[in-house]
Structure 1
Amino acid sequence: MAGRTSPKKDTSSDYRKNAQRAEIAAETQRLTAYLAPTVASEGLFLEEIEIRLAGAHRTVHVIVDLPETETGGVSLDRIADISRVLSDAMDEDPNDDGRPYSLEVSSPGVSRPLTEPRHWRRNTGRMVTVFPLRGDAVTGRLVETDAEGITLIPELPVKKGMKAKQGEKTHLAFSDIAKGRVEIEFAHLEDEPAGEDADEFESTAEEA
């Protein structure tokens, strides 16, 4: 009688990786809940927190954005200000385990994928490309965002050198959209704080 094959067990390396991923996920959730009110008190929105571990050292990358009611990008001055505020908040964190950390703060930049309704609302008026769950991508001017989806005026394909033509307003439901992206236009460059990569400010706070 053939013996049963034993279930594959995690190696020590797999176990450490899984444990580290679980630790990062738990700490990301905890820090998001802890820092979100601080970010909001500065008139910004906490978009995301990313944590990287290297031994006993942590790198905490906080991504902040303007609220939905504001247009443009987060200026370098605001990034510097919120960096100092967040550094103080982390130093005063009552549940911190005392390990040294580096704090990095940035805004998402124009390359961020548009995946949430608030992302679309923040970019009303801009030229965007929409990638639907089915069918071809559509590029056009985002003119409105409602509770169900977005309305845009598509740019119709024309021969090279010809003036762009616009189609009829089209409404796309959020449930039919995989993601989108903002198309950079010279008319909107003043909205960005000196380019996609220049809006990042890093602040390092080492603890004993």
Structure 2
Amino acid sequence: MAFPGEDELVTLITPLTESCGLDIEGVKVTRAGRKSVVSIRLDSDSRPDLDLLESVSQEISALLDAAEERGEVNLGAGYTLEVSTPGVDAPLTLPRHWRRNRNHLVELTEDGQTSVWRVGPVAPDQTAVVLVRSGKKDREMRVLEFTENTRAVVEIEFATPPAVETELTALNYDQAIAWQEENK
């Protein structure tokens, strides 16, 4: 009975999280002497609330305890389970992250330069996302391919987004591309 790796834990808990409509965004196991800390980050399109996270946490704990009793895993003399969401400072690295943050501002870092854009629709084939921003005189749109070496993090925004931007982010992908072509 070996100490489980992160991949092994993902395999163990995936059926449970999928049945709850949650994606595993990260698993980290930290050994602290004879004990350990298992940190699991979960998310979904509908943004899980605290009640759901608590319920899933209890189910994961029962699952891990049962796996230990069967001798499948050994988490040490005891473990602490932490279940949370990724948080707003988590980088957008997968198409689902972009889809979940549609209409939000993101700070892009490309080649050491930063810029702020509003997230629009993701391409149907999940390869790109439309980004928009409004300047002093015009609206600007671009397509960001997910293969580009770009870091993106959601920006906290307290004001109501400008209507000139949300009109464009509300378009579907094909409509947005057509708008971009018409407004070159």
2:73 paired with 1:96: yes
Task: State whether residues 153 and 166 of structure 1, in contact with CA within 8 Å, keep that contact through their aligned partners in structure 2.
Answer: no
Per-residue deviation, 1:121: 1.5
1:129–1:166 Cα change, 3 Å: farther
Q: Is 1:154–1:170's contact at 8 Å kept on the other side of the alignment?
A: no
Give the direction of change, closer, same or farther, for the CA distance of 1:177–1:123 in structure 2 (3 Å limit): farther
Equivalent in the alignment of 1:195: none
Please state if 1:52 is matched with 2:30. Answer: yes
Give 1:110-149 correspondences, 5 Å limit: 110-132=88-110, 134=111, 136-146=113-123, 147-149=126-128
Alpha-carbon shift at residue 166 of structure 1 (Å): 5.2
The offset of 1:77, in angstroms, is 0.9
TM-score (norm 1): 0.66
Q: Whole-Å Cα distance in 1 between the matches of residues 133 and 112 of structure 2?
A: 15
**Structure 1 residues 154, 78: CA separation in 2 closer, same or farther (over 3 Å shift)?**
same
- Quick check: 123-132 or 82-91, which moved more? 123-132
TM-score (norm 2): 0.74
The 5-angstrom pairing of residues 3-82 of structure 1 reads 27-66=5-44, 70-71=45-46, 73-82=47-56
Question: 1:98, 1:105 → 2: CA distance?
Answer: 16
Structure 1 runs (4+) deviating above 3 angstroms are: none
Q: Which has the higher contact order (CA 8 A, sep 6+)?
A: 1
Contact 1:127 1:142 in 2 (8 A): yes
Report the Cα distance in structure 2 between the residues aligned to 1:98 and 1:51, rounded to whole angstroms: 9
Displacement of 1:112 in angstroms is 0.8
Q: Does 1:174 align with 2:153?
A: no
Query: Deviation per CA, 1:17-55, whole angstroms, max 9, x where unpaired?
Result: xxxxxx87x611111111111111112111111111012
Structure 1 residues 98 and 32, CA, compared in 2 at 3 Å: closer, same or farther? closer
Which structure 2 residues correspond to residues 149-188 of structure 1 after superposition, within 5 A? Answer: 149-156=128-135, 167-186=139-158
In 1: Cα distance, 2:138 partner to 2:56 partner = 41
Q: Determine the C-alpha separation between the residues in 2 that align with 1:76 and 1:187.
A: 25
Helix, strand or coil: the match of 2:13? Answer: helix
> For the residues of structure 2 that align with 1:55 and 1:135, how far apart are their CA atoms?
40
The share of aligned pairs that are identical, in percent, is 31
Deviates more, 1:174-183 or 1:106-115: 174-183
Kindly state the Cα deviation for residue 155 of structure 1 after the two structures are TM-superposed.
Answer: 4.0
Q: Residue 170 of structure 1: CA displacement?
A: 0.8
| Structure 1, unaligned runs of 5 or more | 1-22, 159-164, 189-208
How many residues align structurally?
153
Is 1:106 matched with 2:84? yes
Question: Aligned Cα RMSD in Å?
Answer: 2.2
Supply the AA of the counterpart residue of 1:89.
L
The one-letter code of the counterpart of 1:172 is: L
Code of the aligned partner of 1:143:
G
